[in-house]
Amino acid sequence: MQLVLVREFLAQFQGNEFTISLIFFSWLILGGLGAWLALLAIRRRPASPVLLARLSLLLAALAAIEVLAIRTLRDIIFLHGADVGFYPTMAAIFLLAAPYGLLNGFLVPYSLYVLRSQEPDYAGARIYLLDNTGNIIGGALFSFVLVLWLTPLQSVFAANLPLLAAATLLVSCRQQLRPVFLLSLAGAVITLLAGLLLERQSLTPFEGRLIHYEESRYGRITVHQDRELLTIFVDGAPIFSNQNVSLDEETIHFPLSQIDDPRDVLLVGVEGGMLREVAKYRPDRVDLLEIDRKLTEVQLRYQLLQPLPGLNLIHRDGRAFLAATDRRYDAIIINLPEPETFQINRFFTGEFFRLAGRHLRPGGILAFSVAGFDNYLSDPARLKISSLYNTARLHFPHVLSLPGNRVFFLCRDRPLNPDIAALLNSKKIHTIYISSFFSGNITPERLSYLQENLLPDTPVNLDTSPFLLRIMFQQWFARFATSPLPFTVAGCLLLLFYLCRCRREELVLFSTGFAIMGSETLVIFVYQILFGYVYEQIGLLVTVFLAGLLPGAWLGERLRQGRNCRKSLVLCDGLIILALITFLLALLTAHQQLTPGFFLLFGFALSLLCGCQFPLALALGGGDNPAAARTFSADLIGAACGTLITSLLFIPFLGIVWATAGLLLVKLCGIAALAGGAGKVKSKK
Amino acid sequence: MKPIDRRTFLCLSAALLARAGAAQAGLWPFQGDRHEASGQEDIRGAIFKNDAPKTLWKWHKEGFSYQKLADSKVMCNICPNRCLLAPGDRSLCRSKVNMDGTLYSLAYGNPCAVHLDPVEKKPLFHFKPRTTAFSIAATGCNFRCLNCQNWEISQVKPHEVRHQEMFPAEVVRQAKAAEAASIAYTYSEATTYFEYMLDTARLARDAGLNNLWISNGFINKEPLLELCKVINAANVNLKSFDDAIYRKLNGGRLQPVLNTFRTMHEQGVHFEMTTLVVPGYVDNPEMIKAMCGWIVANLGPDHPLHFLRFFPNYKLTRLPPTPASTLDSFRKLAMAEGIRYVYLGNLPDHPGSNTYCHQCGKLLIERRGYQMPVNHLEAGRCSFCGTTIPGVWH
């Protein structure tokens, strides 16, 4: 359900790294709050299996309601078609996720209390183990099966059937099924069924018609038709249309006009109109890279992509493809969204430019573009463009940046001519937009304005230190005239308050949760850089980060039965620190030689140690119900902070090496707290 | 909870299923037809309390039109927002401040954007074609358009941008040096740097240059009358013909803009109108028909009207572009209503950017972007039938 909600939020809000982190942050924090609420609940009223069953039914129904609410309320609360700024996005995500997230967080420890009401010695770690088993199965099922075959509300329906069955079983084992329960059950089933019926309705746009909808592994693809105009949206943002002449011409002719006779062209993420422009050069071979096969199929189906002689469709991650092939091109043209995520940023780094340069023939050209400016180059845009220019200049002796609503970068080993219209004239290539508008839009004065405003000292954008992401965050905040400062200050104060109230063992679990989720974010980031974005492999990484929890919890439970829980906890902490040091050393010394197996092993080891710590910390905390709630909360709140801080602070501002060091530091603080006596000590054993 | 019987259970279940079925049949309760139910009703801005600098900087001038009120308060009279500012406050447009009971503009002699553009880019199609306009902008805007192309200068304060120092005399000198026919006050909202614009325009007029006002038209009558004395042409946005959309998408009001058109028409200023056709908001044919009807009835048939194609921009990035055929149909609709010159913008190579004689219907000017491969206009008249074509041609 978490994965379904993540996709829903990403489809409704700006899909940048901030939003992604906020979703995970909210989910985990709500889980922590829910666990705490469970503790309050049993203080008022003993845990009851019937209530657990009823709440489980409510949870199942909420799943469908939540998805529909996200889709519907987005366009009621916020203006249809408009982006939403940081604070409204945060509030919307938190509030919309709250009902489900709180209840979900509530039910895990509440289940334990129910079990303990029947069997007082029931081990808290077993619930943790069972919860994680469900998480692993659910995550793997969704990532590898459901997302491929079912729509979100179908997935919700399928995923919640076992929950409904379990709730029914729970009640029927204890008493005869009463009408109230049956009515609740029927209500939950009907709500889930209603979700299936409303799937398409809830996606219909205000303007035009929804003529196609499907979910791919990478996002939601919809096709809107407004009169003759077809627009493909991915996750709610328009990306391709059949009437985009100016962008089509600029993307293709700015680079290809520079080359005498382009024979082999590589295109990354282009639309049909661009292919039409490429065809004017009659190349022998055009390789079109698009990671999402379904997106290409939709483009072909609606004739937004027309077959071309020599066209090869390749469905692979661009970087993985270039790293694997020996083929060389006359032009490599990149047409991707803004580098707002770790995934996209990989195509705007020095390492990528070097890789692309190695696949160019002498005189070949690399071209890419980012959102530009109309009449004034603002400071964030200036930094972004300067960074890209400086980065490209490291690998190409000649870089030309052309101003406009999009700023185009042409990179080559020989001089470039900015007079594109004249070049096209000499080649007798007819264009609609460039031949008519170029002279008024890209004037010598505007060219020199851009050149004069480039800052030579701006840091370059690297895989290992994604400077551009920082700038993209800045631009996002500038667009909405807000600052992340209030959020940072409020977050720090709340965190400080929470940490001051934590017991030692909770501090350890907090730091472990932080380190694990931070490491997962970091590992996915580094993995994409080294091996490309391969859906199955990323899914496997996420699964591995959960999979270790199971044997870990089992091992921890065994260790708990020994005498010295504290010693075992410190030992686990020490091993986590050792794992992080190993990771850090590997990054420092041989990160290009690392294999996928290394990352899988690292993820498994970390999650195993984390899983091992939970029963130990729980036992140290007393093992009673309040301890269980607090332990669950500490783990989840630590994980929430780890996700947010690693994604938004550590990686963009410190780079991957120092981000790892940051995680190491957090973990060292955790072990110091345990060893040094910081935090409260549980008085009762 | 009271137990229910089997019959009630079945009835309730049936009712729930029926509701779900009805929704599937098109009665989805939250699916509004258009924009009415979506988002904030009004995004108009507000003044910035206690936001004025401690001291004035070099690039300032006392406000052209304002009232001094009790307690050292002032009211700016340039635009219909009529910002009421206590000492230390900053206006909604971000350019004006109250310093000890005097209103100052902080956008004077400090343009942040200076470019040389074809006049057709403004767009002005009936004003000295194929000439260039020395285009300047200082920061500020009295609207909050969600699709602003120039938000990085329109939605910021003067000190938040890099600027050049270019007082009015220098603007005129540079415009002459660039061999521009005109000076355009453009990009952000020129009304918010009214004092700078007016002083520059006066000097420019004396130096034989034309003055072009590119604006949202949200200005009060008194300053507008003063401006009309010095400007030669204007392109004013008519963002929609619905006050609710003005408030929701632009943070402005419709009526003052309509008043501006009337005043300019009465003053005999050449002006052209621009409407950006935003899908889902400004693409209702009934509204466009009413708008064109109002134009013909109040301003006559001769002021050119430009329909521009929308592309996702600034905060409005989750909408598709405007279909070309929508623009085409609006052009036909506007011409059927009686407007003689209707153009389509952001649509390369479309006949809708050509000028056809309203009398004989022949092609007078063929436009290919900023080029004019065909020009059958002679001394402002159709070379086929001799009809005078409205505009300033030489």
**3-state per-residue secondary structure call for A381-408:** HHHHHHHHHHHHHHHCCEEEEECCCEEE
What's the distance, Cα to Cα, between the start and end of chain B in Å? Answer: 86
Closest Cβ–Cβ partner in B20, B38, B121 for A193: B20
The pLDDT of residue A442 is 94
- Tell me, yes or no, whether B178 and B214 share the same domain: yes
- CB-based contact A243 B12, cutoff 8 Å: no
The CATH number of residue B341's host domain is 3.20.20.70
A503 has which bridge partners? A680
Residue B3 has pLDDT above 70, yes or no: no
- Tell me, yes or no, whether B388 and B264 share the same domain: no
Q: Which two three-digit tokens encode residue A159?
A: 């995923």
CA distance A331 to A333: 6
* Domain contains B120: yes
CA distance A239 to A11: 13
The pLDDT of residue A597 is 92
Mutate to test the interface with A, among B9, B151, B152 (most CBs of A within 10 A): B152
CA distance A350 to A392: 7
Nearest CA in chain B to A437: B369
The pLDDT of residue B32 is 47
Task: Quick: pLDDT tens for B238-259.
Answer: 999 999 999 999 999 999 999 9
What's the distance, Cα to Cα, between the start and end of chain A in Å? Answer: 37
Name chain A contacts of B371, Cβ cutoff 8 Å: 436, 439
- CB-based contact B370 A198, cutoff 8 Å: no
Name chain A contacts of B16, Cβ cutoff 8 Å: 187, 190-191, 194
Mutate to test the interface with B, among A226, A375, A479 (most CBs of B within 10 A): A375
* Domain contains B260: yes
- Tell me, yes or no, whether B260 and B314 share the same domain: yes
> Taking a C-beta distance cutoff of 8 angstroms, is the pair B254, B238 a contact?
no
DSSP 3-state assignment of A230?
Answer: strand
Closest Cβ–Cβ partner in A82, A228, A481 for B325: A228
- CB-based contact A227 B325, cutoff 8 Å: yes
pLDDT band at B9 (very low <50, low <70, confident <90, very high): very low
What b/e sequence results for A393-424 when a residue is b if at least 16 CB atoms lie within 10 Å of its CB, and e otherwise? bebbeebbbbbbbbbbbbbbeeebebebbebb
The pLDDT of residue A178 is 80
- Residue B32's nearest CA partner among A229, A207, A225 is A207
Cis peptide bond N-terminal to A339, omega within 30: no
* Domain contains B313: yes
Nearest CA in chain A to B122: A440
B127 has which bridge partners? B392
Residue B23 has pLDDT above 60, yes or no: no
The pLDDT of residue A676 is 67
Closest Cβ–Cβ partner in A77, A178, A243 for B3: A178
- Tell me, yes or no, whether B270 and B131 share the same domain: yes
Nearest CA in chain B to A13: B318
Burial status of residue A298 (CB atoms within 10 A of its CB: 0-12, 13-18, 19 or more): buried
- Residue B86's nearest CA partner among B65, B64, B102, B66 is B102
Task: Quick: pLDDT tens for B142-175.
Answer: 999 999 999 999 999 999 999 999 999 999 999 9
- Residue B278's nearest CA partner among B302, B252, B312, B247 is B312
DSSP string of A108-172, one letter each residue? HHHHHHHHHHH-TT--HHHHHHHHHHHHHHHHHHIIIIIHHH--HHHHHHHHHHHHHHHHHHHHH
Nearest CA in chain A to B281: A207
The pLDDT of residue B275 is 98
- Tell me, yes or no, whether B261 and B376 share the same domain: no
Name chain B contacts of A229, Cβ cutoff 8 Å: 320-325
- Residue B216's nearest CA partner among B244, B249, B171 is B249
**Closest approach of chain A CAs to the CA of B357, in angstroms?**
23
> Taking a C-beta distance cutoff of 8 angstroms, is the pair A108, A30 a contact?
no
> Taking a C-beta distance cutoff of 8 angstroms, is the pair A545, A607 a contact?
yes
A369 has which bridge partners? A408
* Domain contains B51: no
- Residue A552's nearest CA partner among A603, A498, A614, A623 is A614
> Taking a C-beta distance cutoff of 8 angstroms, is the pair A187, B16 a contact?
yes
* Domain contains B175: yes
Mean pLDDT of chain B: 92
State the complex-level ipTM.
0.89
Name chain B contacts of A231, Cβ cutoff 8 Å: 320-321
Kind of pairing between the strands at B363-368 and B371-375: antiparallel
- Tell me, yes or no, whether B183 and B295 share the same domain: yes
Domain count, chain B: 2
Q: How many CA atoms lie within 13 A of B181 on its CB side?
A: 15
**Closest approach of chain A CAs to the CA of B371, in angstroms?**
6
- Residue A282's nearest CA partner among A295, A264, A297, A304 is A264
* Domain contains B31: no
- CB-based contact B5 A179, cutoff 8 Å: yes
Closest Cβ–Cβ partner in A77, A78, A190 for B20: A190
Task: Quick: pLDDT tens for B182-201.
Answer: 999 999 999 999 999 999 99
Name chain B contacts of A96, Cβ cutoff 8 Å: none
Nearest CA in chain A to B282: A207
Backbone angles phi, psi at B128, to 5 degrees: 40, 70
Nearest CA in chain A to B245: A79
- Tell me, yes or no, whether B183 and B304 share the same domain: yes
The pLDDT of residue A685 is 33
CA distance A432 to A453: 30
Closest Cβ–Cβ partner in B40, B146, B323 for A226: B323
Name chain A contacts of B148, Cβ cutoff 8 Å: none
H or E segment and range at residue A629: helix A625-645
Mutate to test the interface with A, among B148, B159, B317, B318 (most CBs of A within 10 A): B318
Backbone angles phi, psi at B154, to 5 degrees: -85, -30
Sign of CA pseudo-dihedral A369, A373, A377, A381: negative
Nearest CA in chain B to A203: B31
- Tell me, yes or no, whether B388 and B320 share the same domain: no
pLDDT along chain A (685 residues), means of 10: 86 82 89 90 89 94 94 90 92 94 93 89 82 86 87 93 93 80 93 92 82 91 93 92 92 97 94 92 96 94 90 94 95 95 93 97 97 95 98 98 96 96 95 92 94 96 92 91 92 92 87 93 89 81 88 87 81 93 90 87 93 87 80 89 92 91 92 67 39
The pLDDT of residue A677 is 57
Closest Cβ–Cβ partner in A81, A238, A375 for B137: A375
Distances (CA, A) of A499 to A240, A644, A678, B67, B165: 48, 17, 10, 56, 53
Name chain A contacts of B315, Cβ cutoff 8 Å: 82-83, 479-480
Kind of pairing between the strands at A406-412 and A398-402: antiparallel
- Tell me, yes or no, whether B367 and B348 share the same domain: no
Nearest CA in chain B to A192: B20
Domains and CATH numbers, chain A: 1-122+152-198 (no CATH), 207-240 (no CATH), 244-462 (3.40.50.150), 483-685 (1.20.1250.20)
What b/e sequence results for A559-569 when a residue is b if at least 16 CB atoms lie within 10 Å of its CB, and e otherwise? bbeeeebbebb
Tally of CB atoms within 10 A around A61? 22
Kind of pairing between the strands at B233-237 and B210-215: parallel
Tally of CB atoms within 10 A around B141? 29
- CB-based contact B348 A381, cutoff 8 Å: no
Helices A596-620 and A549-561, packing angle to 10 deg? 40
Tally of CB atoms within 10 A around A578? 12
To 10 degrees, the CA torsion angle through A53, A55, A57, A62?
Answer: -170
- CB-based contact B37 A186, cutoff 8 Å: no
- CB-based contact B40 A439, cutoff 8 Å: no
- CB-based contact A237 B118, cutoff 8 Å: no
* Domain contains B126: yes
- Tell me, yes or no, whether B234 and B275 share the same domain: yes
- CB-based contact A197 B24, cutoff 8 Å: yes
**Closest approach of chain B CAs to the CA of A535, in angstroms?**
26
* Domain contains B309: yes
Kind of pairing between the strands at B66-68 and B61-62: unpaired
DSSP string of B315-370, one letter each residue? TB-SSPPPPHHHHHHHHHHHHHHT-S-EEEES-TT-GGGSEE-TTT--EEEEEETT
Tally of CB atoms within 10 A around A593? 9
Closest Cβ–Cβ partner in A178, A182, A194 for B20: A194
Kind of pairing between the strands at A219-226 and B84-85: unpaired
- Cβ-based neighbours of B391, under 8 Å, separated by 6 or more: B125, B126, B127, B270, B304, B380
Instruction: Quote the domain boundaries for residue B374.
Output: 363-394
- Residue A24's nearest CA partner among A93, A91, A109, A106 is A93
- Residue A103's nearest CA partner among A133, A69, A61 is A61
Name chain B contacts of A373, Cβ cutoff 8 Å: 152
Across the A/B interface, how many CB contacts are shorter than 8 Å? Answer: 208
Question: What's the average model confidence in pLDDT over B109-128?
Answer: 97
- Tell me, yes or no, whether B282 and B370 share the same domain: no
Name chain A contacts of B35, Cβ cutoff 8 Å: 79-80, 206
Question: What's the average model confidence in pLDDT over B64-78?
Answer: 97
**Closest approach of chain B CAs to the CA of A196, in angstroms?**
9
Closest Cβ–Cβ partner in A190, A207, A244 for B280: A207
Name chain B contacts of A204, Cβ cutoff 8 Å: 28, 31
Nearest CA in chain B to A244: B321
- Residue A132's nearest CA partner among A579, A632, A503 is A632
> Taking a C-beta distance cutoff of 8 angstroms, is the pair B274, B345 a contact?
yes
pLDDT band at B25 (very low <50, low <70, confident <90, very high): very low
- Tell me, yes or no, whether B367 and B349 share the same domain: no
What proportions of chain A, in percent to the nearest 5, are helix, strand and coil? 65, 10, 25
**Closest approach of chain B CAs to the CA of A158, in angstroms?**
18
Q: Which two three-digit tokens encode residue A16?
A: 């940048």
